[in-house]
Amino acid sequence: MAYELRAVLGKRELLETLASQRGVPVAALGQGFGLIPLTSQVVDALVGGSGPDAPADHGARQHRLDDVLKDWSAHGPIVHATSGLHAGIGEQTARIWRDRVMVFAQQGNAGSGPISMALLRLGVTGGRIGWDEFDVVGLGRHRTTDKWFEAARARTPD
């Protein structure tokens, strides 16, 4: 079964405050954490995806997203996380921004747990062999970024 995630993770209260300024939804996770699903629509809202100031290509878009996350981290640590897994094979990346500086960057297979390592550094507790921080906060609840977006929209009033 496939799993795909592109998201910003952090303390839910912090993410809700920051996301509300851009009109993007936040999904609730365990232990007071939250998730902003990075769908195309959300990234457009974060980086100014239309009009004359829109980033010209994927690289420019990623650079602008990094700038947004760096700015947000002045208010508290956040994680930019990606995961792609199919039939047990895949990769995860996790980068922590804190005080406008990237303080952690890890890429590896899902078994090595870059996302779990980042969550542990942000204070998630209760992980153990066979049930890591990824599981503790509930990141397995939805299998795609789009499903996380639907869940976040369902709890966000329009």
What pLDDT, in 10s, does the model give residues 91-105?
Answer: 999 999 999 999 999
Give the pTM. Answer: 0.91
Pick from 52-56, 74-78, 81-85, 146-150: least confident: 52-56
Confidence of residue 112 (pLDDT cuts 50, 70, 90): confident
pLDDT of residue 59: 81
Residue 54 — pLDDT band, cuts 50, 70, 90? low
In the chain, the number of structural domains is: 1
Query: The tokens of 68 are what?
Result: 């947004």
Give the pair of three-digit tokens for residue 111. 């078994």
CA 20 to CA 31: how far, in whole Å?
Answer: 21
Q: In the chain, where does DSSP find H-type helix?
A: 12-20, 40-47, 58-72, 114-121, 133-137, 145-154
Positive or negative CA dihedral for 151, 154, 155, 158?
A: positive
Is 77's pLDDT higher than 60?
yes
Lowest mean pLDDT among 42-56, 57-71, 141-155: 42-56
How many angstroms separate the CA atoms of 26 and 29, rounded? 9
pLDDT at 50: 66
- Contacts of residue 16, Cβ cutoff 8 Å, sequence gap at least 6: 26, 34
CA distance 19 to 23: 6
Q: Are 39 and 108 in contact (CB under 8 A)?
A: no
Q: What is the pLDDT of residue 55?
A: 66
Structural domain containing residue 32: 3-154
